[in-house]
Amino acid sequence: MAEEDSIPRNPIQAIGPCGFMVLLFLLWYNWKSPGKEAAALMGVSVMVITWLVYMGASYSGEGSKLHGLKPIIGRMPTVKKPDGHVHFRTKMTWTLSILIVYFAMTNVAIYGLGSDTIDLFSQYRAILAGASGSLMHLGIGPIVTGSIIMQLFTGAKIINLDLQDAGDKEIYQGTQKVLVLVMIIVESVPQVFGFLEPSSSIVGEVGLTWARMTIITQLAIGSYLVFLMDESVSKWGIGSGISLFIAAGVSQAIFTGTLNWEPAPGGGSEVPSGTIPMVLWYLKNSSTADLSNGGYEAMLLAPPNPIVAVLGTLIVFFIVVYVESSRLELPLAHGKVRGARGRYPIRLIYASNIPVILMAALLANVNMFALLFWSHPGMSTWPIVGHNWRLGAFDVTDGSNPVPTMGLAYYVSRLAGLQDWLLPLISPEKYGQYLGGHEPWQVVAHMIIYMGIMILGSIVFAKFWIETTNMGASSVAKQIQGSGMQIPGFRRDPKIVEKVLERYIPTVTVFSGAMVGFLAAGADMVGTVGQSSGTGVLLTVGIMIRMYEQIGKEQMMEMHPVLRSFFGEG
C-alpha cells in the first residue's frame, strides 16, 4: 500500500481511456445482446482491463506510463532469482525436472473437452511447443506474443523505456508478464467459444457457459505454468525454457516420424507412418514390379514421412551446424596483466534463433485470427473483417487441420515440403492435386512472399532483440571494459571500444536475421520428417548447439570461479 501511495497519479488523465473501454463494452452488449452469464463474464474481463488501463494512464511521474503498473507487477507470481552462483549440478537438476514436467503436461488432456475440435495452430505446433487438446494447447504462444508486442512498441519508441536503466528494465519485464496474462485470455477465449467445444456430458452437468469457463481456466493455468517454468529454467537452470520446450517437442516429432511403426491415423492403410518402418514394409511386401510402378516414388515422396523428408532434415542439420560454428573474433588483451589475451566471439548468427521464433509466432497469430474471422460463429459476422477472404479463406473439411486457401493467410502460411510447390510446378499433370486449386503463378507468389516475410521479419526482430538483451555495441563495450580487457592498439575507453564494435555488430545483426529467416523458410520448403517443420529443425539444432556450449561454460566456471565475473555471474 505504501508503494502505491508513493506513485504520483492524476486520475483525470485516465478518464478518456477508461471511458473508451466502457464504451466498447456497451457497444458489444448492444450488438450481441448476450445472456446474463456471458454478460457478467465479459463485464468482469472489461473491469480488469479497465483497471490496468487506469493504473497506466493515471501515472503522472517521469518516464513511461508503464511505471504506473508497478504495484501490479510487484504482486504477480514470479520465480525468485538465486542470491548467488548456482552450482552446475543444481542447474542440470532443475533443467531436467522442468523438462519432465513439460512432457507430463503435454500428455494431460483438458478435462471436459469434446472430440469435435479444430486446432488453430496446427501448422505451427512444433514451433509453439504445444500439444493439441492438452494443458499445453497454447504452448509458448502467449509468452512469445507478449514479447513481440513489447519489442515492437519499445523499438518504435511508442513505449518510452530505457533498457540500459535497471528500473526501466524491471518495468519492461514486469509489463511483459502482465501482457502474457492478457494474451492467454485473448488466445484462449475465442478458441473455446468457437473451436474447442466442451463435451455434451459436462455441458449437461454445469451448463454450456460454465463448461467453457472450465476449459478456459485449464488453458490459463497451463499457459501460466509454462511461463513460470520458463522463468525457472532461465534463473535456476541452463539456457531458456522456451528454447528447451521447442527442442523437446521437435525432437519427439523427429523421433516418432522416423521410427513410428503404427499406420497414420485415418489413412485407411496398413503402411507404417515412420520413414524407416515404411521403407522396410515396402521392401518386404512389394514385388519388383510393384516397386517400379509407384513403390519407389511412394517411399521417396509420399507424405507424411518420405525419404526426402529425412534427407531434408539432415541437410538442415549440417547447414545449421556449419553456420552456427562460423564467427568473427575480436582480439582482446588485459589492461593490467601483461600477456593475458583473449578473443570476443561475434557469431555469424549473432541474434541466435530468437528472431525466427518471434516471426513464426507472429505468423501463427495471423493464421489464428484469420481463421477466427473466417469461420468463428461470432467473429465471422463482424463488419469488414468477418468472413473476408482477403484476410484468409480456409478449407475446414479436414476437421482438426484447417488449410488456408486464399488471402493473406494463404500467402504467409508455411510451405510444408516439396509437394507444396516444386512437384506441382514441375509436373502439373501428375501432381496437380497438390496445387489445391491454385494457379502456378499463385504458388510462385506464395513462395516469394513467404520467403520475403520470413527474411525481413527476422531482420527486424534481430535488431530489436539485440537492443533489448544488452547485446548491442554499447552494452558489449561496457561488458569488455568491466572485465578489465581492451582491444590492442586502442585506448582503454568504452567509447573507443563501442566505435570498433559498431563496425561489426549492426552488420552482423542484419545478416544474422536474414540468415535465420532464409534457413527457416528454405527448410520448410524442403520438408522435414515428423511434420516438425523446417523452422522447428533449424531452431532445435541451434538450441542444442547453444545448450552444449552453455553446459561447457558452466563447467568452466565451476573449475575457474574467477570467470564468473566476466560472464556476469554472482
> Before 304, cis peptide (omega within 30)?
yes
Q: Give 565's contacts (C-beta < 8 A, 6+ positions apart).
A: 483
Same-domain status, 99 and 138? yes
Tell me which of 9, 41, 75 is where a domain ends.
Answer: 75
Same-domain status, 67 and 213? no
- Residue 2: which pLDDT band, with cuts at 50, 70 and 90? very low
Report the 10 Å Cβ neighbour count for 546.
20
Residue 453: what pLDDT? Answer: 94
Same-domain status, 214 and 290? no
CB 309 within 8 A of CB 417: yes
CB 451 within 8 A of CB 359: no
Same-domain status, 152 and 287? no
Tell me whether residue 414 is in a domain.
yes
CB 65 within 8 A of CB 169: no
Q: Give 469's contacts (C-beta < 8 A, 6+ positions apart).
A: none
Same-domain status, 232 and 134? yes
Alpha carbons 290 and 280: distance in angstroms, whole number: 14
Tell me whether residue 372 is in a domain.
yes
Please state whether 527 falls in left (phi above 0), alpha (psi between -120 and 50) or beta. left
Rounded mean pLDDT of 334-361?
76
Tell me whether residue 326 is in a domain.
no
Q: Write the CA distances from 499 to 162, 300, 345, 474, 491, integer angstroms.
A: 21, 53, 17, 9, 12
Report the 10 Å Cβ neighbour count for 327.
16
CB 280 within 8 A of CB 258: no
Tell me whether residue 484 is in a domain.
yes
Q: What pLDDT, in 10s, does the model give residues 348-404? A: 888 878 888 888 888 888 888 898 888 877 788 888 888 899 999 988 776 567 888
Tell me which of 249, 273, 300 is where a domain ends.
Answer: 300
H or E element, residue 403:
strand 403-406
What's the chain's Rg over C-alpha atoms?
26
Same-domain status, 224 and 276? no
Tell me whether residue 322 is in a domain.
no
Rounded mean pLDDT of 182-200?
83
- Residue range(s) defining the domain that contains residue 59: 1-75
Tell me which of 53, 75, 97 is where a domain ends.
Answer: 75
Beginning with the edge strand found earlier in the chain, give each strand of the sheet holding 341-347 in spatial order.
341-347, 327-334, 485-486
**Nearest C-alpha neighbor of 76 from the set 182, 168, 151:** 182
Tell me whether residue 526 is in a domain.
yes
Same-domain status, 401 and 516? yes
Residue 98: what pLDDT? Answer: 93
Number of domains comprising the chain: 3
Q: Quote the pTM value.
A: 0.79
Same-domain status, 48 and 12? yes
Same-domain status, 97 and 71? no
**Nearest C-alpha neighbor of 215 from the set 119, 130, 109, 142:** 109
Same-domain status, 444 and 550? yes
Instruction: Identify residue 169 by its one-letter amino acid code.
Output: K
Same-domain status, 443 and 474? yes
The C-alpha cell at 342 is 583473449
Tell me whether residue 390 is in a domain.
yes
Rounded mean pLDDT of 111-131?
80
**Residue for cell digits 566476466?**
566
Rounded mean pLDDT of 11-15?
89
Residue 206: what pLDDT? Answer: 85
Q: What is the CATH number of the domain that holds 548?
A: 1.10.3370.10
Same-domain status, 289 and 354? no
Instruction: Identify residue 295 by its one-letter amino acid code.
Output: G
The C-alpha cell at 255 is 523421433
Tell me whether residue 358 is in a domain.
yes
Helix axes 208-236, 141-155, angle to 10 degrees: 70
H or E element, residue 36:
helix 36-57
H or E element, residue 521:
helix 505-526
- In sequence order, the β-bridge partners of residue 109 are 134
Query: What is the average pLDDT score of the chain?
Result: 83
